[in-house]
Amino acid sequence: MRNKGTLRQILLITDGCSNQGEDPIAMAALAHEQGITVNVIGVLNENTAEFHRQGLKEVEDIAMSGGGISQIVYATQLSQTVKMVTQKAMTQTIKGVVNAELQQILGSKSSMDDLPPDKRGEVMEVVDEMQETMNLEVLILIDASGSMEDKMMTVQESLLDLSISLNSRIGDNEFSIYAFPGKKKEVEELLSWSSKMDSIGKIFSKITLGGITPTGPAIKEGIAVFQQKRSSKRRFLSNDADGYERESSM
Amino acid sequence: MMPMDMSASPVCNLTVGDEIRGKWNHSIYRVRRRLGYGATGAVYLVEHKNGLAALKIGHDQMSITSEVNVLKRFSKVQGKVLGPSLVEVDDWQTRKATYPFYAMEYLKGETLFDFMKGKSLDWPGILLVQLLTDLHTLHQAGWAFGDLKPDNLLVTGPPYRIRWMDVGGTTVMDRSIKEYTEFFDRGYWGKGSRKAEPSYDLFSAAMVMINMAYPARFTKRSDPDKQLQEKIASSPMLKRYAVILEKALNGKYQYAEEMRNELVVLLNAKDQNKTNQKQMTKSNNQKPATRQAQKKKKKSFLAETFLVFTFVFVVYLFYMLGQTM
């Protein structure tokens, strides 16, 4: 019998400031409380207007409040950034769990960094192992406001590339993609939980770009999607730490 | 973090004479010059009590520790020296922060591109043979190299030998590749997964060759297969290796040794490479050569005996004739 856990992440890809509905920073905090890490990537164009750049400050605040990682990049670097952010957030979450366990063993103030280098190496192997074998669920929220039009192709390519990387792991992966605003609702499902993203070409062609940016409602919907998924699972144990949940598989 | 953030970091801006003191082992390293920097930290040439060493220092405990784990494993790969050997691991505590670092053997050599200046076109093939030999050893030990590219390679010598400088991407077989660079990554070219397996490294090895012919590299177009084929066909250096390179790009080799052996055969086939041939296959030919020599000796021994017997018989015949007459 071996313990295997699931990491849950929301990956928000946006190019500007939210302008409708709930406060996205508050929603990110709510997600974080429920074991979901919120990562945010702000996408810039070389010719992005100054007021748009200002709006990207929100990106950092959402990620900080969601216990995740943020990065602001030009569209050309998107592919590498999507992977980097996802993997770094995984490591960060796992490191948090490992540190919590170390504190239990070694006393209140210990963390990995306080260990002598030899011991650190052994702990690192455990972290590596977990990162490789844990299950990962990523819910991708794509900003479909008008200004994203010229970046959609790049977003699509980066997500495909992300799935190549994650599907090379030993652990299972599931992806789900939502766009905001949707055709009729604030948030619209594009792809329900699936381990493959091969079909996303068709999905992207379905997106109609709207005018508003309801980032807060999108994150809130993300939390609900995770909850549905969890309750549909057979076994469910309480959270051990941020973004991490233990399930025992026999 | 992104490299652009790194260049501004204090660990990337140490100056000549700066001292790095280990918190745990109390060793002192004096900075001579910076050798390079990357996504995870900077590498310096340093002096310490036993002479020169290369020292890698960074911010992130995780990635430095991970690299140290790999270097330790390398020293356990039996018999062969693959990467630089590990000297010591420690932390450097300054007033502001603590930086993890490790010291390793300093490999003196040239980059692939510098090495190739003024060298004959035989060399890329020979370096590739050397690289494949090492890859095979590494694969046998259960690891894939991962981030194979000219920046992580070095030519030491003479005698010239390709060596691995940065082993940060080395990954346990069947896991996902830890670190890679797009141009050398088969995932980027749509030619397979990022799972650590021999064929992943062999794809990168072929791309290293292509990079040697096109130092500026190039970006993917809509039909990568055709694009790479064309690039190989239009380079005089790559053309002769086309069959082997294309097999590697298409994942046709299961082991590094297969590719190496085919490459050796190809290099041997050309007259102009005879000198190389002797060098490359010396060890393979040694045993059969001595065995052949032994056989020859046996043959000549038989002939001698036969001659002696015939001579004695003829003399005896004459003697008998003399007696009867």
Tell me the ipTM for this assembly.
0.71
Among residues B191, B184, B208, the alpha carbon closest in space to that of B129 is found at B208
CA angle B135, B140, B145 (to 5 degrees): 40
DSSP state of B18: -
Q: Which residue has the higher pLDDT, B16 or B277?
A: B16
Q: What dotted CATH number matches B112-271?
A: 1.10.510.10
Q: Does B175 touch chain A (CB under 8 A)?
A: yes
pLDDT range class, residue B199, cuts 50, 70, 90: very high
Per-residue model confidence (pLDDT) at position A80? 82
Per-residue model confidence (pLDDT) at position A122? 83
Q: What is the pLDDT of residues B252-299, one digit of tens each?
A: 999 999 999 999 998 888 554 444 444 443 444 444 444 455 555 566
User: Of A112, A121, A170, which has the smallest distance from its Cβ to B68's Cβ?
Assistant: A121
User: Of A120, A161, A170, which has the smallest distance from its Cβ to B61's Cβ?
Assistant: A120
Per-residue model confidence (pLDDT) at position B81? 65
Q: How many domains does chain A have?
A: 1
Q: Does B93 touch chain A (CB under 8 A)?
A: no
Does a structural domain hold residue A1? no
Residues of A in contact with B174 (CB under 8 A): 170
Give the per-residue SS3 of A137-170.
EEEEEEECEHHHHHHHHHHHHHHHHHHHHHCCCC
- Of the listed ranges A63-67, A245-249, B134-138, B174-178, the least confidently predicted one is A245-249
Catalytic residue among B5, B90, B114, B147: B147
Average of per-residue pLDDT across B175-181: 88
Model confidence, pTM: 0.74
Give the structural domain span for A119: 6-249
Residues of B in contact with A118 (CB under 8 A): 89
Per-residue model confidence (pLDDT) at position B271? 54
Q: Do B89 and A118 touch (CB under 8 A)?
A: yes
Average of per-residue pLDDT across B64-89: 78
Spell out the alpha helix ranges (H) of chain B. Answer: 3-6, 61-76, 112-116, 123-140, 198-213, 224-233, 236-239, 242-249, 256-269, 274-324
Quick one: which H or E segment has residue B163? Answer: strand B161-164
B147 is catalytic: yes
Residues of B in contact with A71 (CB under 8 A): 2
Per-residue model confidence (pLDDT) at position A249? 41
Residues of B in contact with A80 (CB under 8 A): 182
Query: What whole-number percentage of chain B has pLDDT above 90?
Result: 39
Is the predicted pLDDT of residue B94 greater than 70, yes or no? yes
B56 is in an annotated binding site: yes
Q: Does B193 touch chain A (CB under 8 A)?
A: yes
Per-residue model confidence (pLDDT) at position A87? 84
What are the φ and ψ backbone dihedral angles of B241, each rounded to 5 degrees? Answer: -95, 5
Q: Scanning every residue of chain A, which has its alpha carbon at the shortest distance from the alpha carbon of B63?
A: A124
pLDDT range class, residue B234, cuts 50, 70, 90: very high
* Residue of B4, B170, B175 to mutate for A, most A C-beta atoms under 10 A: B175
Does a structural domain hold residue A70? yes
Residue B52 pairs in a beta bridge with B47
Which ranges of chain A have pLDDT less than 50?
1-3, 234-243, 245-250
User: Of B24, B61, B194, which has the smallest distance from its Cβ to A165's Cβ?
Assistant: B194
Does a structural domain hold residue A228? yes
Domain boundaries, chain B: 10-104, 112-271
Per-residue model confidence (pLDDT) at position A213? 87
CA angle A204, A206, A207 (to 5 degrees): 70
Among residues A94, A103, A100, the alpha carbon closest in space to that of A124 is found at A94
Q: Which residue has the higher pLDDT, B3 or B171?
A: B171
Quickly name the fold that domain B10-104 has.
Phosphorylase Kinase; domain 1 (3.30.200)
Q: Do B194 and A168 touch (CB under 8 A)?
A: yes
Per-residue model confidence (pLDDT) at position A17? 78
Q: What is the pLDDT of residues A41-86, one digit of tens each?
A: 988 876 666 666 666 788 889 999 999 989 888 888 888 888 888 8
Domain with residue A212: its CATH number is 3.40.50.410
Among residues B60, B85, B69, B71, the alpha carbon closest in space to that of B9 is found at B60
Quick one: which H or E segment has residue B19? Answer: strand B19-21
Q: What is the pLDDT of residues B287-306, one digit of tens each?
A: 444 445 555 556 667 777 77
Q: Which residue has the higher pLDDT, B47 or B85?
A: B47
Q: Scanning every residue of chain A, which has its alpha carbon at the shortest distance from the alpha carbon of B62?
A: A124
**Amino acid letter, B310:** T
- Give first-to-last CA distance, chain B, whole Å: 111
